[in-house]
């Protein structure tokens, strides 16, 4: 496994623990579709939450949250629509959260943006 993939997996694991502590119910992780993958699908009350996790060990390429560009948002919308259709959940309220994980020298900082962008 590459360092980049390992960093991503560590970040997703930290994000999962964070969401569980906040009371989210995890439905799926690394949900694969023909068009790509959703990092985390969770439930926050009655809301289905599609979570994109971005992890960095250095800020030389920018903050993790900056990595969710407009293009990435459009892709996530398509993936979420696929998930909802595949699971016959057309009447469910959904939203997109982004979690930025910054790991350095054994420490970790998590930033959670609830309803980061619109459907």
Which CATH number goes with the domain that contains 60?
3.40.1350.10
Question: Which pLDDT does position 2 carry in this prediction?
Answer: 83
Tokens 């060990």 label which residue? 57
pLDDT one-digit tens code per residue, 4-56:
788 778 889 999 999 999 999 999 999 999 999 999 999 999 999 999 999 88
Q: How large is the average pLDDT for residues 68-82? A: 94
Adjacent-strand bridge partners of 56: 102
98: nearest Cα among 39, 30, 35 = 39
Tokens 């407009």 label which residue? 70
Question: Which pLDDT does position 90 carry in this prediction?
Answer: 80
- Measured in degrees and rounded to the nearest 5, phi and psi for residue 63 equal -70, 145
Residue 92: Cβ within 10 Å count = 12
Domain count, the chain: 1
Non-local CB neighbours of 70 within 8 Å, separated by 6+ positions: none
Q: Is the dihedral of CA 39, 42, 47, 53 positive or negative?
A: negative
Domain extent at residue 12: 3-117
């Amino acid at each position: 496994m590459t360092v980049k993939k390992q960093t991503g997996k560590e970040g997703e694991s930290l994000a999962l623990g964070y969401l569980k502590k906040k009371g989210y119910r995890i439905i799926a992780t690394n949900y694969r579709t023909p068009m790509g993958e959703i990092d985390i699908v969770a439930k926050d009350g009655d809301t289905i939450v599609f979570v994109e996790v971005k992890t960095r060990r250095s800020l030389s390429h920018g903050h993790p949250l900056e990595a969710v560009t407009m293009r990435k948002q459009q892709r996530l919308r398509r993936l979420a629509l696929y998930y909802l259709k595949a699971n016959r959940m057309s009447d469910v309220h959904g939203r997109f959260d982004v979690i930025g994980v910054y790991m350095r020298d054994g420490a970790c900082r998590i930033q959670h943006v609830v309803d980061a962008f619109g459907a």
